[in-house]
Amino acid sequence: MQLRPEEITSRLLPFELLSIRLLRSSFKQNPKYEGKGVPITGRQLGMVLAIENTCDFDETEHIAKFTQSISTEGNVFLPFVLEAQFVAVFRVGANVAVDEKEIYIGSLFPQAVFPYLRGHVYDMTIRGGFAPMILPLSMHPAKKEAPITPN
């Protein structure tokens, strides 16, 4: 059986990244910094970083607008306050069931966008004159209510 190209894409790739862009980015001195200068380990990143994921689905067009934000606002462990927000637009396969949307929002979309966010955080800390903040390869909540923890 010969498949048409659009059938191959929809069967093999559950979604396609159409666009991604940086919506907001800020980097400033942290007035709450206590000056301890203690290096932050991977386990402590969950305490100083807040990552938020939101998504809007257009089920008729099979398009998803996914936003991923990061912030270090309110901590005393870092000498800087960093905030960034990326938005990505995905085309989702027409054969994706409505009950599978949570898988996309909770796992697939964050994994697709996080490398962009990770690279941006690294660049911002280096350009700000600090040691680079190297985030883990992936970060996602263990549960909806749980704080973000590195994997």
Tell me, yes or no, whether 127 lies in a domain: yes
Tell me, yes or no, whether 150 lies in a domain: no
pLDDT band (50, 70, 90) for residue 53: very high
Is it the case that residue 151 has pLDDT exceeding 50? no
Tell me, yes or no, whether 125 lies in a domain: yes
Tell me, yes or no, whether 143 lies in a domain: no
Q: Give the pLDDT mean for 106-128.
A: 93
Tell me, yes or no, whether 112 lies in a domain: yes
Instruction: Domain of residue 59: give its range.
Output: 5-137
Tell me, yes or no, whether 33 lies in a domain: yes
Lowest mean pLDDT among 5-14, 40-49, 71-80, 91-100: 5-14
The model carries a pTM of: 0.78
109 Cβ partners below 8 Å, 6+ apart? 15, 53, 55, 64, 66, 68, 88, 90
Is it the case that residue 68 has pLDDT exceeding 90? yes
Q: Give the pLDDT mean for 74-87.
A: 90
> 20: which DSSP letter?
E
How many folded domains does the chain comprise?
A: 1
The CATH number for 111's domain is: 3.10.420.10
